[in-house]
Structure 1
C-alpha cells in the first residue's frame, strides 16, 4: 500500500531527475577544475552518456542505484507497483549492457559509476577518468 495519494506520488516522481543529479554535477565540476573538457548528455553518442570525451572515445555514465538495479539479484524488490518496477529496472539493466557492448564494439572506453560511489570517492572516480584519457592519448 502506498503511503502517498496518487497526486503526491506523481509530484514526487516528477521531481526525480534524469540529468543534472548531484553526483553528476560534482563529478563535472571536478573534471572541469582539472582542465578536462567534456560534453554532457551528448545525443550524438549512442546511449547518451552523462559525460563524453569524443576525441578519446570515452563515455562516462553516473547511474543511480535504484533505477539501474545495483545488487538487483540480492536486493529486496519494491513492494508497491512491483510488476512495473521489476519490468522497468530489468529493462534498464539490459539496456545498460546493450549500450556498453555497442560502444565497446565501436572502440569506445565505457566507464560506469554508481552515484553513491561518486559522492563517497570523487577523487578516485576522477582519477579513473583521467587515467583513461591519458591511456587514450598515449601518455601511459
Structure 2
C-alpha cells in the first residue's frame, strides 16, 4: 500500500493499526478453550446448562454457564481482560486505553456479582488458568447443593 493510502483509524477508534485491529477482533468473547473444557467436564457430570445466557432478563450481561432453576451463574474470566492479580501485565502500547478498559471490566464484574446476589443467585467466578477439574468439581457440587441433590 503506498504511503498516501496508509490505514488511518476512524475517529475515536481504539485500534492503533490495522494489524492490531484484526488481532483484537479475533479474540473470542465466548467458546474459549477454558470454557469448552470446563463445559465438557460439567456435562460429563450429568449437569445441563445454558451457554452465554443472561441470568436476569433485565441485566444486559451474559454468564458463561447458567443453571436457571438452581440460580447459579458461572463466569470463566480471562486473566488479561479481567485483571487477574497473578497474571495481568499492563500493556506497553496504548496503556492508558487498555488499563482503563480492564478497570471498567473489573468494575462491571463487581456490579454483576452484586446484582445477581441481590436477586438470589450464586455467582461462581474462575480464572482461565485454574485447573478445569477443580472448576468443574466446584460447579457440580454447588449446583447439586442448590438443587438439593447432593
Tell me the TM-score normalized by structure 2: 0.81
Alpha-carbon shift at residue 34 of structure 1 (Å):
1.4
Flag the structure with higher helix content: 1
Structure 2 residue corresponding to 1:50, chosen from 60, 64, 69:
64
Larger-gyration structure (1/2): 2
Gaps of at least 5 residues in structure 1 are none
Gaps of at least 5 residues in structure 2 are 1-15
Q: Which aligned runs of 4 or more in structure 1 are off by greater than 4 angstroms?
A: none
Tell me the TM-score normalized by structure 1: 0.87
Aligned to 2:35: 24
Aligned to 1:136: 146
Higher relative contact order (CA 8 A, sep 6+): 1
SS at match of 2:125: strand
Whether 2:51 is the aligned partner of 1:37: answer no
Structure 1 residue corresponding to 2:114, chosen from 94, 98, 101:
101
Number of aligned pairs?
Answer: 132
Contact 2:75 2:124 in 1 (8 A): yes
